[in-house]
Chain A
Amino acid sequence: MKPLKLILLFAVATLSILPMAARADSKPVVIRFRYWGDVKEIAALQDTIAAFEKTHPNIIIHGERVPSGDEYVQKLLVEQAGGLTPDVVFCGDSYAQFADRGILRDLTPFLNKDHSVQISRYYGPIMRVFTDNGKIYALPRDIAPMGLVYYNKSLFDKAHIPYPDGSWTWDYVPHPERGNKDFLTVAKELTHIAPQSSESVYGFAPSWPAMAMDDFVFSSGASYVDDIYKPTRINFDDPRVINAIQLTQDLSEKYHVAPSLTDLQASAVTQHDLFAQGHVAMYLCGIWEVPRFREEINNKFDWDIAAFPAGPTGLHGVATGGSGYGITTASKHPAEDWEFLKCIAGPDGESRLAKTGLAQPSIASLSNSTLWLDGQRPMNRKLTIEEVPYVHFTVISPKWVEVKAIIDPKLQLVWSGTLSAKQAVQQLMGPAQGKLDELNHPPYHPILNWWYGAMAMAFVVLVLIGWVWQGAREDIRNGRRTGSRSEVRAGYMFIMPWLVGTAIFMLGPMLVSLLLSFSSWDMIEPAKWVGLGNFSEMAGDDRFWKSLQVTGLYTVFSVPLGVAGSLALALLLNTKIKGQATFRTLFYLPAVASAVAASLIWLRVFNPETGLLNYITGVLHLNPLLKAAGLTDPTSGYVNWLGNEKTALGSLIVMSLWGIGGGMVIYLAGLQGIPQSYYDAAEVDGANVFQKFRHVTLPLLTPTIFFTLIMGVIGSFQAFTQSFVMTGGGPNNATLFYVLYLYQNAFQFLKMGYASALAWVLFLIILCFTMLQMKMSKWVHYEGAEK
């Protein structure tokens, strides 16, 4: 195509997207409403929005649906830092970070003026969470007690045990004399383990281990911290907490009533599915599992929910979650926001939510109505109301996330059976309390002066230009490295797109992040100058060194394997075998699959009880070998690939091999660039297959190999998605990739300054490796190199 046609195409394309950028704003007030949701919730919300817009014709609600969890928080924080937050937002667990730091607006002025909203209609516990110093920062949306024991009636019938009615208790050891009033006795009687068989029935499984631990802690009257809103002391050394942790471990390791405990992102896949399949008699979770269980269990067996047993002292206590709606401080039309808030957090919105069955409304009267108690399974649904009086939130403080990141790895070692509860607590108390103290008494740092910052950045730019200038002068002196004037001019013209693009899109952000690496910034309050503080903190940061180790190991193994593998694959698929194009496409498939979907699928492959890998090891009778190597779980007899410290990283490395199709494509392109005439000439000289490879293929492929080696190192040092989706960095930081740790620091601990410092340290490391590779690149043969 002629260049002119191309330019025309470009212009037309650009112009065609312009309308997209135009914002038609002919209606009065537009409210940006940020939410997440299950498909049913979205439908319910949209009905509410439609009804609202009908009664308020001067307001338009602009729905912004985003993924929940980490991504939700990340987006909101970026927008807060960039000054472009939405108007009305959902807030869940991460509420504490938002309110404490000033993202959410105080609602008390609205409540004082508008008497149509009675705070008393909401459940006390959830309302308290959103209240701070008498100010209210959000209206509740739902409350989610996590002390519901789903139980399989057929399995109870088979074991001749009467259904639990909530009058039972638990203790640290079984009390067979109490019969079916003792939780452990019931669990044991329901358990039938056939080692390494898919027919095992477990007595009890928590949705995730910490849920059981939480419920044990709260129903024994203990607490994790002294004050859940402003914690100063960690109470993990309370014997009741230690015993609760130990009991959770004992469920699997000692009493063998629970399957392998995993703390992973989708560990609920296992336990949830096992219950639906009838392989777990009692399953601990919240009410949100009901809609799915109804579909998945159908009428296979009858089931219901029972209250979590009371503790050794007769106390009831369960953990809970919850969410709410708030208005951002930056919103330009708070009055209209309030109108909308009243609607979605009021009977209207809440009743639609109740009908989805996913979230228990926080308005007590609605909870108590047939909207929620719909007369379908689970029949004992009123339990959700009964449990509200004794729910406990874990810690509602923004400081807790970072402390939790120290505690959780140790707990993961307990779940995998490596440490006892006592040992884990001994190891975590010091560092965790130290971190909490540090967060409660942050050292003083002056506010960063951006004028000085701008000058510093300008200085760096000058240094860079000077460096390039110096290289240019050397090139000029060495006449061979520069061409005629027209060639030089053409050279600069040709690289202009990159120069301009970098200057506009990359240079500024990179310099700002460099500046931020010398500062401390939570993205909400102004940045503070800490000088080299971040770097000295890094030197003493265990998890920093661990993440370097993990990432280094990952690189050392996956890069050479990947390069060799994809080269071999390309050579293989370059020969004339039947179905060549099909094979190439098949091998390339992993590269086109969505990373999140692929990771979730691989979770099912690695799943200890129901995964393919363990099915294969069973069929091939490899398990005795694995047991001898100390890798199997004592109860199920299977290897917990992603939940076991020793095998987690290896599993991810194997998973990376699945994607070598990407490299294969590059080598295929490189192979196509080798002219047939060279091979013909080699044949004329009498070369056989191996000699042809060694003397024609390999040398001419070296530029491509060089490319994949460098990109491989750069890429694997920045590996992120698998660990983010699959393991969250665990167990015990065994898969804590460097960029994952960076992400945690940026968007979970709200330490963007430290994260920037981490980024630049990584930059230096990669830079060194790359320069090393380039210096040692004499083996690369460029046909088109200058003489």
Chain B
Amino acid sequence: MSNLSTTSSFSEVPAEPGNALKSVKSSGMALLKTTRDGRAAQLLTLLAVVGAAFTLVPFYLMVAISLKTPEEVAQNPWSLPRHPQWINYAHTWHITGTDVSFGTFFHNTLLIAVLSTVGTVMSSSIVAFGFSRLRFPGRERLFMLLLATMMLPGIVTLIPSFIGFRYLHWIDTLYPLIVPAFFSGAFNVFLLRQFLLTLPRELDEAARLDGASFFQIYWCILMPLCRPALVTVGLFAFIYAWKDLMGPLIYLNSTSNQTLELGLRTFDTMYGTIWNLLMAGSVIVLIPLLILFFAGQKYFVQGIVMSGLKD
């Protein structure tokens, strides 16, 4: 344990989740108490606004261009759209004139993203638990191997992977994009392992003494405490699957199997870019991710409930 005296704090934590939540509601706001440091809060808000402005400039352009006619895009790319062309979004969605619409791409991408997120979160947490909370021979070296798998650029394993998937008859299906997720990705295992290592050992030991199996420790005790990290992993996995270009490009053939990122490329060809439709498409593609992120915010505020820990 750290050097801080925590005995009193821990024994004061109530056992019921409801009250515990109340007491940790401000766990994230530990640095400043707004009631006292009003001016500091204002300064920070200002900083946040300036930073947000810098971040938003490209998005302003994206949305602005998406609402313009081609004429306006060429003449005045940076100004506010004079007559917002909401119809661009309709054109983009239907990819007017062609057989496959964004609806199909949406369906495919959603399927891939949801399934691979479920698979990633489940498998990464299991593997991370093994690497962080259980001691077994060879663990450190195996972990090095795990890290090592991230160090080779994916380009050179494309062809062998392709050949492998071909023999499984998985080419032009969604399998190559979903199944590997159920076997955990090194990035997420590493992330969760780091997070798990911040949780005190006493939790595990107490549970063992109570007769819990390792799976129960994993499932009932540690995972609930990991919610912010699990949400992060889930978010990353979803976003990665949503935005992935290389995988769908190589493994998917039929237009009806393709994903949103590939679909966006319809508007970016060797003849030049159809800017307004491409930007409209990009906005359509990122809105679900935004909603997801915004909705996941509450898990970042909840904090850790240190119930059941006695000294």
Contacts of B158 in A (CB 8 A): 78
**Contact, CB under 8 Å: B74 / A272:** yes
Contacts of A674 in B (CB 8 A): 27, 30
Q: Which of B131-173 contact A (CB under 8 A)?
A: 131-142, 144-153, 155-164, 166, 169-171, 173
**In the complex, what residue of chain B is closest to A477 when comparing beta carbons?**
B137
Q: Which of A686-705 contact B (CB under 8 A)?
A: 689, 692-693, 695-697, 699-700, 703-704
**B-binding segment of A178-186, A217-225, A758-766:** A758-766
Contact of A673 among B57, B163, B265, B304 (CB under 8 A): B304
Given A513-B156, A677-B6, the answer on whether A505 and B180 have CB atoms closer than 8 Å is yes
Contacts of A505 in B (CB 8 A): 161, 164, 180, 183
Q: Which of B25-80 contact A (CB under 8 A)?
A: 26-32, 34, 41, 44-45, 47-48, 51-52, 54-59, 61-62, 69-71, 73-75, 77-78
The 15 sampled A-B contact pairs (Cβ below 8 Å) are A68-B269, A476-B137, A482-B135, A501-B123, A597-B264, A658-B58, A672-B300, A675-B304, A679-B30, A692-B31, A696-B30, A703-B198, A756-B156, A783-B199, A784-B132
Given A17-B174, A575-B32, A602-B58, the answer on whether A673 and B229 have CB atoms closer than 8 Å is yes
**Contact, CB under 8 Å: A587 / B195:** no
Contacts of A79 in B (CB 8 A): 162
Given A704-B194, A784-B199, the answer on whether A481 and B184 have CB atoms closer than 8 Å is no
**Contact, CB under 8 Å: A673 / B195:** yes
Contact of A595 among B57, B77, B245, B267 (CB under 8 A): B245
Q: Which of B206-240 contact A (CB under 8 A)?
A: 214-215, 218-219, 228-229, 231-232, 235, 239
Contacts of B151 in A (CB 8 A): 714, 762-763, 766-767, 770
Contacts of B183 in A (CB 8 A): 497-498, 500-502, 504-505
Q: Which of A719-749 contact B (CB under 8 A)?
A: 739, 742-743, 746
**Contact, CB under 8 Å: A585 / B27:** no
Which has the most chain B C-beta neighbours within 10 Å: A78, A269, A597, A600?
A597
Contacts of A577 in B (CB 8 A): 41, 44-45, 48
Expressed in whole angstroms, the minimum distance between the Cβ of B36 and any Cβ of chain A is 11
**Contact, CB under 8 Å: B155 / A746:** yes
Complex: A9 Cα to B270 Cα, angstroms:
43
Given A3-B219, A487-B134, A692-B30, the answer on whether A82 and B58 have CB atoms closer than 8 Å is no
Contact of A17 among B6, B26, B115 (CB under 8 A): B115
**Contact, CB under 8 Å: B198 / A475:** no
Contacts of A37 in B (CB 8 A): 266, 269
**Contact, CB under 8 Å: A594 / B156:** no
**Contact, CB under 8 Å: A672 / B301:** yes
**Contact, CB under 8 Å: B166 / A82:** yes
**B-binding segment of A390-398, A488-496, A538-546:** A488-496
- Quick check: is A512 within 8 A (CB to CB) of the other chain? yes
Contact of B306 among A467, A483, A677, A700 (CB under 8 A): A677
- Quick check: is B86 within 8 A (CB to CB) of the other chain? no
- Quick check: is B303 within 8 A (CB to CB) of the other chain? yes
Contact of B26 among A42, A576, A615, A752 (CB under 8 A): A576
B interface residues, how many (CB within 8 angstroms): 166
How many inter-chain residue pairs (CB < 8 Å) link A and B? 499
**B-binding segment of A147-155, A293-301, A337-345, A367-375:** A293-301
Complex: A310 Cα to B52 Cα, angstroms:
54
- Quick check: is B126 within 8 A (CB to CB) of the other chain? yes
- Quick check: is B113 within 8 A (CB to CB) of the other chain? no
Contact of A487 among B126, B136, B141, B186 (CB under 8 A): B136
Given A65-B255, A296-B71, the answer on whether A467 and B272 have CB atoms closer than 8 Å is no
**Contact, CB under 8 Å: A675 / B194:** no
**Contact, CB under 8 Å: A498 / B135:** no
Contacts of A650 in B (CB 8 A): none
- Quick check: is A586 within 8 A (CB to CB) of the other chain? yes
Contact of B9 among A266, A476, A677, A759 (CB under 8 A): A677
**Contact, CB under 8 Å: A586 / B55:** yes
Q: Which of A1-34 contact B (CB under 8 A)?
A: 3, 6, 9-10, 13, 17, 20-21, 32, 34
| 9 nearest A-B residue pairs (beta carbon) | A501-B183, A494-B130, A491-B136, A472-B137, A43-B97, A472-B138, A509-B157, A509-B160, A491-B134
Contacts of A36 in B (CB 8 A): 269-270
- Quick check: is A589 within 8 A (CB to CB) of the other chain? yes
Contact of B139 among A475, A510, A678 (CB under 8 A): A475
- Quick check: is A119 within 8 A (CB to CB) of the other chain? no
Q: Which of A574-606 contact B (CB under 8 A)?
A: 574-578, 581, 583-598, 600-602, 604-605
Contacts of A86 in B (CB 8 A): 253
**Contact, CB under 8 Å: B70 / A689:** no
Given A75-B249, A574-B31, A596-B264, the answer on whether A21 and B74 have CB atoms closer than 8 Å is no
- Quick check: is B241 within 8 A (CB to CB) of the other chain? no
Expressed in whole angstroms, the minimum distance between the Cβ of A37 and any Cβ of chain B is 7
Expressed in whole angstroms, the minimum distance between the Cβ of B20 and any Cβ of chain A is 11
**Contact, CB under 8 Å: A605 / B58:** yes
- Quick check: is A685 within 8 A (CB to CB) of the other chain? yes
Contacts of B95 in A (CB 8 A): 39, 42
Contacts of B73 in A (CB 8 A): 296
**Contact, CB under 8 Å: A665 / B232:** yes
Given A494-B130, A787-B201, the answer on whether A592 and B289 have CB atoms closer than 8 Å is yes
Which has the most chain A C-beta neighbours within 10 Å: B158, B184, B191?
B158
Given A63-B99, A498-B146, the answer on whether A481 and B41 have CB atoms closer than 8 Å is no
Which has the most chain A C-beta neighbours within 10 Å: B118, B145, B174, B175?
B145
**In the complex, what residue of chain A is closest to B303 when comparing beta carbons?**
A672
**Contact, CB under 8 Å: A697 / B30:** yes
Expressed in whole angstroms, the minimum distance between the Cβ of A543 and any Cβ of chain B is 16
Complex: A577 Cα to B99 Cα, angstroms:
48
Given A488-B137, A759-B156, the answer on whether A273 and B74 have CB atoms closer than 8 Å is yes
Q: Is the interface of A mostly helix, strand, loop or mixed?
A: helix
**In the complex, what residue of chain A is closest to B256 when comparing beta carbons?**
A63
**Contact, CB under 8 Å: B200 / A784:** yes
Contacts of A684 in B (CB 8 A): 5
**Contact, CB under 8 Å: A468 / B55:** no
Expressed in whole angstroms, the minimum distance between the Cβ of A686 and any Cβ of chain B is 12
Complex: A296 Cα to B70 Cα, angstroms:
5
Expressed in whole angstroms, the minimum distance between the Cβ of A610 and any Cβ of chain B is 7
Besides A276-B75, A739-B155, 9 more A-B contacts (Cβ < 8 Å) are A42-B98, A66-B262, A469-B138, A666-B191, A675-B27, A703-B198, A742-B155, A770-B147, A784-B200
Proximity string of chain B (241-280) to chain A, C-beta cutoff 8 Å, 1 when within and 0 when not: 0110100011001110110011011111111111001110
- Quick check: is B85 within 8 A (CB to CB) of the other chain? no
**Contact, CB under 8 Å: B136 / A482:** yes
Q: Which of A656-684 contact B (CB under 8 A)?
A: 658, 661, 665-666, 668-682, 684
- Quick check: is A631 within 8 A (CB to CB) of the other chain? no
Contacts of A21 in B (CB 8 A): 169-170, 173-175
Expressed in whole angstroms, the minimum distance between the Cβ of A328 and any Cβ of chain B is 13
Which has the most chain A C-beta neighbours within 10 Å: B13, B30, B129?
B30
**Contact, CB under 8 Å: B160 / A490:** no
**Contact, CB under 8 Å: A678 / B6:** yes
Complex: A322 Cα to B45 Cα, angstroms:
56
**B-binding segment of A101-109, A400-408, A565-573:** A565-573
**Contact, CB under 8 Å: A81 / B70:** no
Complex: A510 Cα to B149 Cα, angstroms:
9
Contacts of B55 in A (CB 8 A): 586-587, 589-590, 658, 661
**In the complex, what residue of chain B is closest to A500 when comparing beta carbons?**
B183
Given A82-B159, A742-B155, the answer on whether A784 and B198 have CB atoms closer than 8 Å is yes
- Quick check: is B24 within 8 A (CB to CB) of the other chain? yes
**Contact, CB under 8 Å: A755 / B156:** yes
Complex: A770 Cα to B197 Cα, angstroms:
19
- Quick check: is A473 within 8 A (CB to CB) of the other chain? yes
**Contact, CB under 8 Å: B303 / A689:** no
**Contact, CB under 8 Å: A494 / B134:** yes
**Contact, CB under 8 Å: B6 / A681:** yes
Complex: A296 Cα to B301 Cα, angstroms:
48
